[in-house]
Structure 1
Amino acid sequence: MSPRSRFPDGGSLRSERLRIGIAIATANRPDIVGETVGHIFLQTRKADAILVCSPGLEDVEGLREAYPDVVHIIGPRGLPHQRNRLMEAAQELDILLFIDDDFLMDSNYIAETEAAFCDHPEVVLTTGRVVADGIIGPGFSFDEALARLSIPVAPPATWLTEVYNGYGCNMAIRLEPVRANGLKFDEELPLYAWLEDVDFSRSLAPFGRIVRVEHAIGVHLAVKSGRQRGVRLGYSQIANPCYLMSKGTCSWKKGLFHISRNLAANILGTLRGEKAVDRSGRLRGNLRAVADLVTQRLAPSRALRL
């Protein structure tokens, strides 16, 4: 038995079987999303559906021919818009697992996630354990991510850990409370939608537990192509947490932590001449957002003007 999983055959502790779908929002990265979808078929517990949403057909070129059973949806550009379209298309499912188009799952990821939802009906959202994340550097190639995913990891002491929010690159939701309470991703958060995972998690939190499934592991490539420009992301790093704090889906403590951490990272990265991440562009966006905050014009949508 793999130390990563108690279910090498893809089974769960209970006999019931949930209907689980995987949802991917993508744009401008047809090769990457194709590789990621292909990797999904290695799961020991197969997904009941794979849904992909993109702004146009060119974003998934070759995907439908390679994987004809994948459901493709056209949706407005922007992560919240696309994820809402994916939820609308998941009416026959019980659980919807959102992964980024560059997130690779260990082969037992879905089995572990299903077990968490089956054995704990009070759980409404799960996230996995990211054992390597390219977001803090230049990112990983597909082969590098596969190599990192194959490195043995020590089994964690606990199975489920309470967390404040799911990590948007791999986040599964129980759809029943989402439908019953009309929950959606906030479409006021534009483009890459910085902290949309915090916002949606805390909107769902009143209806049950949010946990990290420690045996559900994966690697986030964090491919830089197709992402928003540094100045726009920098603006969102200030504007979005301020917006979420004002609407009550992010605590002041956590919001200010995000702001200060990113501002400090962008200042230090700019001074050091960091090349892997556009720190100078993000810093310009940070400063523009601070100026808008002072003049009371700060809003997430203003990132689109930069």
Structure 2
Amino acid sequence: MIATLGRARNVAALLDRLALQSRLPACVVLSMESAEDAPPARAHPFPLIQLFGPRGSCQQRNRALDRLPPDIDLVLFLDDDYVPSRRLIAGLVHFFVTFPAIAGASGRLLADGIIGPGISPKAAVALVEAEDARNEQPSLSVSAPHPGLYGCNMAYRRTAIGDVRFDENLPLYGWQEDIDFGGHINGPLVYTDAFYGVHCGEKSGRERNGRRLGYSQIANPWYLRRKGTMPAGFARRLILRSLAANGVRLLRPEPWIDRKGRMIGNWLAVRDILLRRVHPRRILEL
């Protein structure tokens, strides 16, 4: 399932990659705000469900979960700027069959453009195709259990999800919604080499308001720690890392990041913590 906003071209490219899978998906669910987010109409070798409604990664993913066909056993969440291996679905199915006690898993990232200026779709495809050519039998490695998975590519057993849904108190981009979701799942969550791909880190369609994202960097971990779905140490590291990164890069910011806005948002959230009024939804007022 794919939640998307303002990236019709990326979604079209992802659907084309899914059509090349050695094992096709049983169905694909696209959750969008409006028809402007939809890719061009074309035939695909799998059922395609298109949903429309209010924006927000949590809201959009919840709509998709509520519309899943009843015969789906494994649920794969992909970001719209993710480029999968041709064997991604076959690899994850093999993984879950091999490890029946595992509740959810994220695959290996060959590269992640979110930590830089981004990776072009063409470069991402080249990386994935090269890895497919030399790695015909991916490893079935399993990491130690983790508090949550990486939202750009995470797969869960349908039975483990049950009635669990994403927290719609985390609006818009839903910073750390993947960790929160995993915190409600009973069973180990792990990382594996059994399936892989590239996360392009496309900048269009992402939260461009630095103050909002900066506020979320502090408010969301604080909220999730108090809620109990994020370990205190993990939340503390996220908060300190955001404060440090935005502070260090403030005078020499990257062209694709609004460091000043993020720093202001960070301190607005710290102020609200001290005033005991911090809440993730306050970004809607910024």
Shorter chain as denominator, the TM-score bin is: over 0.9
**Matches of 2:170 and 2:81, distance apart in 1:** 21
The worse-fitting range, judged by mean Cα deviation, of 141-150 and 32-41 is 141-150
The partner residue of 2:116 within 122, 125, 137 is: 137
Paired residue type of 1:160: V
1:42 equivalent in structure 2: 20
Do 1:161 and 1:214's aligned partners in 2 also have CA atoms closer than 8 Å? no
1:216 equivalent in structure 2: 195
The question of 1:162 aligning with 2:115 is answered no
The question of 1:126 aligning with 2:125 is answered no
The question of 1:269 aligning with 2:249 is answered yes
The question of 1:183 aligning with 2:160 is answered no
Coordinate RMSD, CA, aligned: 1.8
Structure 1-normalised TM-score?
0.87
Paired residue type of 1:192: Y
Paired residue secondary structure (1:65): coil
Do 1:137 and 1:277's aligned partners in 2 also have CA atoms closer than 8 Å? no
**Matches of 1:223 and 1:174, distance apart in 2:** 28
2:53 equivalent in structure 1: 75
Paired residue type of 2:42: E
Name the % identity.
39
Q: CA deviation at 1:61?
A: 4.3
**Matches of 2:235 and 2:259, distance apart in 1:** 20
**Matches of 2:121 and 2:37, distance apart in 1:** 18
Q: CA deviation at 1:245?
A: 0.1
Do 1:112 and 1:213's aligned partners in 2 also have CA atoms closer than 8 Å? no
The partner residue of 1:85 within 40, 44, 63 is: 63
**Matches of 2:249 and 2:206, distance apart in 1:** 19
The worse-fitting range, judged by mean Cα deviation, of 222-231 and 241-250 is 222-231
1:16 equivalent in structure 2: none
Aligned pairs (5 A) from 1:1-306: 23-62=1-40, 64-65=41-42, 67=44, 69-90=47-68, 91-152=70-131, 159-164=141-146, 165-179=148-162, 182-204=163-185, 207-228=186-207, 229-306=209-286
User: CA, structure 1 residues 109+34, in 2 after alignment: closer, same or farther (shift >3 Å)?
Assistant: same
Q: CA deviation at 1:41?
A: 1.2
Do 1:239 and 1:298's aligned partners in 2 also have CA atoms closer than 8 Å? yes
Q: CA deviation at 1:156?
A: 8.0
Paired residue type of 2:67: A
**Matches of 2:49 and 2:206, distance apart in 1:** 23
**Matches of 2:247 and 2:267, distance apart in 1:** 11
Alignment deviations for residues 256-288 of structure 1 (CA, whole Å, 9 cap, x no partner)? 001111111111221223212222221111111
Structure 2-normalised TM-score?
0.92
Do 1:145 and 1:219's aligned partners in 2 also have CA atoms closer than 8 Å? yes
Paired residue secondary structure (2:127): helix
User: CA, structure 1 residues 66+277, in 2 after alignment: closer, same or farther (shift >3 Å)?
Assistant: farther
Paired residue secondary structure (1:123): coil
Q: CA deviation at 1:215?
A: 2.7
Structure 1 residue runs of 5 or longer lacking an equivalent are 1-22
